[in-house]
Each structure stands twice: as structure tokens, then as C-alpha cells.
Chains A and B, each alone.
Chain A
Amino acid sequence: MRIIACTEGSFGKLEPFSLEMITAARTAGAAGDEVVAFFAGQELEPAVANLGAADRLVAASAGGSQLIAAESYTRLLADTVAAEEPGLVLVPYSANGLDVAGNLAARTGWPLVSYVNEIRRDGDRLTVVAQVYGGKILAECSVPLPAILMVNPGAFAEAERRAVDPSKLQHFDATAAVAEGKVRLVGVDVPNYDSVDLTTAERIVCVGRGIGDEASIDIARGLADILGAEIAGSRPVVDSGWLPKVRQVGKSGQKVKPKLYLALGVSGAPEHLEGMSKSDLIIAVNTDPKAPIFNVAHFGATCDLFDLVANLSERLQPGR
């Protein structure tokens, strides 16, 4: 069987989950299977320099801007799928992947399972484990092949980074195809890290929706100050305008790996965990003992976050 592992990269960098898709493909594969990495983007360099762990690389150069719209990515992938006739296509659960996976499933009529964490081959089927209900329930599914899986970033280890052998690279120019798309990229905004760069912070106190309102952020900020930590927030907190976008941790925010990550009133949805589960020390406070944040926390407490912050601030206050 042939397995296509979809990869992504922009601004000269390969998304690390691209290497995870190769590991996922190897996990799903049997002896003799071929793993083909698929890449589409403006510059091929990040893919060519890193995706050598795949058996082959099919790469489309899209011209134009740094980012390629999912519409074009899907169209190029669909052409590759038609030519390669794979038995399995792995798409990362990313902003791009959200549009790619379902569209490809509709075009091919193939089954699609999303939010996949584990893959096992069972003859001519796959058994996969996917996360539903914000990570509170795992669904084990039996999927006939050919199939498409949307795989969670962080679920598989990164394959080794090495350059692609030139004889294993198949490159095509897709500039014309991309120019025909109906979704036209007109601008890209890159966050301004001048004020704060969470990716280099050593200590982070992150508040989730459990903080309740904007005024209460100050209570958490007080504890962050005592700890010498940066304050960060989950998506709902940033969406409500209580913290600036550069302080969002997770899938569409920053991916952080501090020495200390204290999560207050964060449920631990997969999209949040993606941004912080590799932190050295994770401490979580959440009144719901079943909150998925506890699955990655090294220490967890189920008390009210306000009671905890008050008590802990008092104990850590310098000069006390």
C-alpha cells in the first residue's frame, strides 16, 4: 500500500507536525508499504531539507506569497492522489487541514476520521482512536481502506529530520493552478513579538475561561508577577479581549515549552494541549476532576482557582 503524508510549511520553516505525519504513516503501514510525503508551498526548501524520512517527496511549488490557500493545496493534493492511488492519506489537524481533509473525502467518497491519536493496521482495515468532546471521550473506530485520517499534532513523535535524496524528489510547478483559485490571498499578518514572546518564556501562568471575567485576570497576573512568569490565556480569554492575541497558547496561538506552566481554569481541549503539553512542569487547577488538562499535568488540584491563587500568593509573597 502507498500512504500519503501531508506536510506544511511557510516562511522558510517546516511545520514540525509534518514530521509527525511520517511517523504516523509508518505506524499505519505494513512491511513493503511506501510513504510518500506531499508538500505544497512557495518555497520547497523547508520540505526538501527535512522530509528525507519519507520514501519519496512530491512537492508542488505554488509561487506567489508565503502562504498557500487550502483550496489550492487540496486541488494539488487531489491531483497527486489521483496519480499515486494511495490506500491512506494522512492530513494534519491544522487550520489548513480542516479544509483539506473533508474536501478530499467528498471528492473521493472515502471515509474520513478526524482528531486521530492512535492508528493500528488490522489487515485491510485500520483501527484508530480519535478524541471527541474536547478530549473527554476517546472513540475507537474500525475504518475500511482507502481512507483519510486527520491526525492530531503531538500524537506521534517527529520522524528524523534529514534531507531528501534528489532522486526521491518529484517536483512540479503549480503556479498556474494556484492563480486560478477562487480564494485569493490578499494579506498576511505576522504577530509582533516586541511586547512578549511566549515561546521563549521560562515560566507561564495561563488563565482559561474559568477566570470568569476581565477584572479577575489581575488576580492571576498578581501570582504571575510573584513567580516571575508571563501571563497567557486560552482562546476564549483572548477572544473576549481580556488578553492580547500574542498571549494566546494553542493551535492558533503560540506553541510554548516553558520550565513551568501553571494552568488556571483551563479545560485542556486538544487545541490547547497542542500548544503546551511539552512544558517541563505542568500544574493545573480546575474544579472539574475529569478535565482533560489533568491528563498532561504533573500536579493537579481540583479546588477553586481563586481560593488557590489567594492562598498560594500569600505563601510565595517575598518577605513573608
Chain B
Amino acid sequence: MKILVVLRMIPDSAGELELTSDGRGIDREWLDFQLNDFDDHALEEAILLKEASGATVVAVAIGEGSNRVLQMAVARGADEAIALEAEGDGMIDSRAIAGSIVALARSKAADLLLCGVQSTEDLFGQLVPYAGALLGWPHVSGSSRVGIEASALRVTQERGGGIAATYEIALPAVIGVQTASKAPRYVSGSKLREASKTAIGKAPSEPAGFERSAEIVALRLPGQRGSGENLGDNPENVADRLASILAAKGFAGV
């Protein structure tokens, strides 16, 4: 079995996000780029499947810091690393990159495409259904467990309300990972140093054949804190205020 896993580098949402002067993009100059959390789980699931079934794992990364994250992927167990050329330096639009990912899945003869269920940048739709539809493969988004039995996948999907559905899917398939079966592993510095010697392949960007979904007219920050009251940042004052608010509303004392 051959697994292609997609790693997208996206701005850290916990950091400060500022708009560009034309208001249509975010200022990328000082941003920290991180591996999309869900893609990190997809990588872990790929490595777990490799350990369970002897699969080969090809990691493809896109965006700023791709080489660094590919080395990490190799240190964790990926067999091959490929940096995908990005078009422009704006958002990683999953609708636009689907064509390149599908071309790679075909040229590498992958049986399973794993990606994170979503990224905070896929305003124009998620990679999993686009890639699944282009490849004509079945796809399931939001997995919390992926296992392999004979040549079929067993995938548990999180539905709302804590309900989990388990499906059997014949390969080839595309899975959008929400949570890996086990938490993503850490790698030691020595493994990382070893992995830094790995050659990183390159793949060109291919058109997906979809028209752009929409024109971004403007980006803005959400209205500052609805109607809520800011109690400040001094823990003693905040505790005093909260204690009296809770008491007034009948919550203090059980």
C-alpha cells in the first residue's frame, strides 16, 4: 500500500494576524507558519498505518517552511518527501491545490490519500472532497481512527453529539483526518538531524480545472468583543469582580 499524506503550512491562528494595506490579505511578513494541526494528525495516522501494514508513506508539503516540516515527517517515518510548488504567496486554497495533489497521487500510484479534515484557510472548500471527486475515489472526512484489514480500510468518523460511525471502504480512498488513532509523536533531535540529510523532491503546481470560487472583496477583524465586559488582566481584580458577579447571579456557594 502506498499512502500520500498532505502537509499544509498555515499561519498560526493563535498569533497576531494583521491585514495588508489593501485589506484583501493578511500581512505575511512577520507571521509564524505552522503545520496545519489536522495535517499533523494525518501524518501520524499515515505512520501508524505504515507500522501496522508495511505501507510506504510519501509526504508532500506546501507553503512556507515546507522543507523543515518534511524533514520532521521523514524523522517520524515518512519514506519520501516532496515539496509542492505554491502559486503566489497568499492563502493555500485547497480548491486550487487539489489538481496538484491529485496529479501526485496518480504519478506516485498512491492507494490512500490522507489529509487533515480542514485548514483554517480553505475558504473555498476542503481538499478531501475535491481530491476525492477528481480521483473518483470514495472519501470520508473527520476520522478519529483509521485501520486496515485485508485491502479495506476501517474508518471511524466523528459525527455530531459524540456519535461515531464506523465505515468499511475499499481502496483507493481519500480520508480527512480529524484525530489520529494516537497522539502525534515527538521526534528526537538526533533523528531530526539524520533526516535533514534526506533529499527533498519537487513537484510542479498543476491546475485543478476549477474556476475560482469568489472574489475576496475585503477581510476584516470581527467586531471587537460583542457586548461583553472586559474585566482586565489583573488576576486579583478579576477574581474580586467575578466573585461578586457569581454571587449576585446566585452561583457562588453550592
Contact in complex: A315, B165 (CB < 8 Å): no
Name the residue among A98, A127, A141, A187 with the largest chain B CB count within 10 angstroms. Answer: A98
CA distance A100 to B121 in the complex (A): 18
Residues in B lying within 8 Å of A, measured CB to CB: 11, 13-14, 16-17, 19, 26, 91, 95, 98, 117-118, 120-130, 132-134, 138-142, 154, 156-170, 173, 176, 178-179, 183, 210-223, 225-236, 238-243, 245-246, 249, 251-254
Minimum Cβ distance to chain B for residue A292 (Å): 7
> CB within 8 A of A311: which of B11, B236, B251?
B236
Contact in complex: B222, A252 (CB < 8 Å): no
The 8 nearest A-B residue pairs measured at CB: A102-B129, A106-B133, A311-B239, A307-B235, A111-B213, A228-B254, A191-B162, A141-B214
Q: Is A109 in contact with chain B by the CB < 8 A criterion?
A: yes
| Given A300-B228, A301-B231, A267-B13 contact (CB < 8 Å) | yes
CA distance A179 to B234 in the complex (A): 60
Q: How large is the interface on A (under 10, 10 to 19, 20 to 34, 35 or more residues)?
A: 35 or more
- Name the B residues within 8 Å of A307 (CB-CB): 235
CA distance A295 to B133 in the complex (A): 37
- Name the B residues within 8 Å of A135 (CB-CB): 222
Q: Is A22 in contact with chain B by the CB < 8 A criterion?
A: no
Q: Is A70 in contact with chain B by the CB < 8 A criterion?
A: yes
Q: Is A42 in contact with chain B by the CB < 8 A criterion?
A: no
Q: Identify the stretch in A46-54, A80-88, A238-246 within 8 Å (CB) of chain B at 4 or more residues.
A: A238-246
Name the residue among A128, A290, A296 with the largest chain B CB count within 10 angstroms. Answer: A290
Q: Identify the stretch in A56-64, A112-120, A167-175 within 8 Å (CB) of chain B at 4 or more residues.
A: A112-120
Minimum Cβ distance to chain B for residue A182 (Å): 4
Nearest CB in chain B to that of A101: its residue: B125
Contact in complex: A102, B128 (CB < 8 Å): yes
Nearest CB in chain B to that of A93: its residue: B118
Contact in complex: B221, A136 (CB < 8 Å): yes
- Name the B residues within 8 Å of A316 (CB-CB): 243, 246, 252-253
- Name the B residues within 8 Å of A240 (CB-CB): 183
Contact in complex: A187, B124 (CB < 8 Å): no
Minimum Cβ distance to chain A for residue B229 (Å): 5
Name the residue among B140, B142, B210, B235 with the largest chain A CB count within 10 angstroms. Answer: B235
7 contacts between A and B (CB under 8 A): A133-B13, A135-B222, A138-B220, A140-B218, A182-B138, A302-B232, A318-B253
Minimum Cβ distance to chain A for residue B215 (Å): 5
> CB within 8 A of B219: which of A138, A188, A255, A301?
A138
Minimum Cβ distance to chain A for residue B146 (Å): 13
Contact in complex: B228, A298 (CB < 8 Å): yes
Nearest CB in chain B to that of A282: its residue: B228
CA distance A267 to B222 in the complex (A): 14
| Given A253-B162, A300-B231, A301-B238, A127-B217 contact (CB < 8 Å) | yes
Q: Type the 1/0 row for A120-143, where 1 means its CB is closer than 8 Å to any CB of B.
A: 000000011010111111111111
- Name the A residues within 8 Å of B222 (CB-CB): 135-138, 292, 295
> CB within 8 A of B162: which of A183, A186, A252, A292?
A252
CA distance A246 to B162 in the complex (A): 7
CA distance A144 to B91 in the complex (A): 21
Nearest CB in chain B to that of A274: its residue: B160
Contact in complex: B216, A139 (CB < 8 Å): yes
Q: Is A79 in contact with chain B by the CB < 8 A criterion?
A: no
> CB within 8 A of A302: which of B165, B230, B241?
B230
CA distance A114 to B14 in the complex (A): 21
| Given A227-B251, A300-B228, A300-B229, A99-B141 contact (CB < 8 Å) | yes
